[in-house]
A and B are shown apart, each in its own frame.
Chain A
Amino acid sequence: MKSEITIKQARCKGCGICAAFCPKQVLAVSELGKIQVVKGEDCIACGQCELRCPDYAIFVDKLEDMKGATA
């Protein structure tokens, strides 16, 4: 896991924008209509999901050790 993904469930409306723009198919809308992480280990912390989330429901951060590794 190179990143930490935080989902604010109460805000998510399951529109699927984040999943559609994820280049690594990390995210998917669950049967309950909320976004969920399905392949967290593939996340490259590009932030595309957070960028266009209209509901401020998903946040992605690079993990510290990852930042260190790429420095």
Chain B
Amino acid sequence: MAELTRSYEKYFRQNRLPHLWCPGCGNGIAMKAIVQAIEKQGWTQDNTVIVSGIGCSSRASGYMDFDTLHTAHGRAIPFATGIKLARPELNVVVITGDGDCCAIGGNHFIHGCRRNVDLTVVLFNNAIYGMTGGQASPMTPLGGKATTTPYGSVDRPFDPCHLAKAAGATFVARSTAFHVQHMTDMIAQGMASRGFSFIETQVQCPTSYGRRNKMPSPAEMLKWLQQHAVLKPAWDRLDREKKKAYILDHKFPIGVLHQAKRPELDYDAAYDQVIERAQGVKA
């Protein structure tokens, strides 16, 4: 029955669905979490802009019924910076992937965190380059098989949440495609937080990652996320030894990992002061 269509469905361009992602891809779950977070925040389709880079994740913008911008590989954050500074009243959400954000766009990611423009950046981390057929990304785990690491990856991955926090992001959170409501909540909190918010969503890529790494079933990949994600409060209660064991077992914390204690001035607000000083209103 058409009436069963959920309220969040109005945020999709119905004529563009079904999306192009492979069967069982986690990107669809993360995209739904974003529109549900937008709904929760009360943002409208007219005052929200979705900006994406290039890659599987970044095809999301085409399905979302807002003003949407599918930029060049790695460059979503600079484009979003321009939009937000030009029109501060618009809510700007960036959708990016692990290759887009952390490899080719790594410098923009770091400086986006530092500059603290009021953006919500959602990373769809599937640990692989899916669009080009399964090459290793900066998030491919050590030993992980990809078309460019046929004998297992020897490149150490990094933790984008640690990076975001160190570079100055004022809100940093992580969730997974198994924890859908939690993911929605993390994104909504990021949207509510003024300044540069970063949310890593771990999503499964059964086609390009799972099949090469003994996890061909999408449901199995989701169960792996369920078993390895530990809620932040529980993670914090772990003693040193236990935490070490968890890390060796590839377990990781999910939740709000960092939030600036005192609300720092975001770039837009700070630049308003620049304008006032330039115009001689304030000394």
Contacts and interface: CB of A to CB of B under 8 A. Distances in A.
Interface of A: 4, 6, 10-11, 13-17, 19-21, 51-57, 59, 61
B18 A17 contact: no
Consensus secondary structure, chain B interface: loop
Contacts of B24: 13, 15-17, 54
- By Cβ-Cβ distance, the 3 closest A-B pairs, closest first, are A54-B28, A20-B219, A15-B24
B29 A54 contact: yes
Given A13-B22, A57-B18, 13 more contacts: A6-B4, A11-B18, A13-B23, A16-B24, A16-B217, A16-B218, A20-B217, A20-B223, A52-B178, A52-B180, A54-B21, A54-B177, A55-B28
Q: What class of interface size applies to chain B in its complex with A? A: 20 to 34
Contacts of A17: 24, 218-219, 222
A15 B25 CA distance: 8
B4 A61 contact: yes
A56 to B, nearest CB: 7
Contact of A59 (B4, B25, B28): B4
Contacts of A15: 23-25, 206, 218-219
Interface in B11-53: 12, 17-19, 21-29, 32
A55 B21 CA distance: 9
A11 B177 contact: no
A55 B19 contact: yes
Contacts of A16: 24, 217-219
A6 B6 CA distance: 12
B1 A54 contact: no
Given A13-B23, A54-B28, A59 B218 contact: no
A6 B180 contact: no
Given A54-B27, A56-B9, A56-B32, A10 B180 contact: no
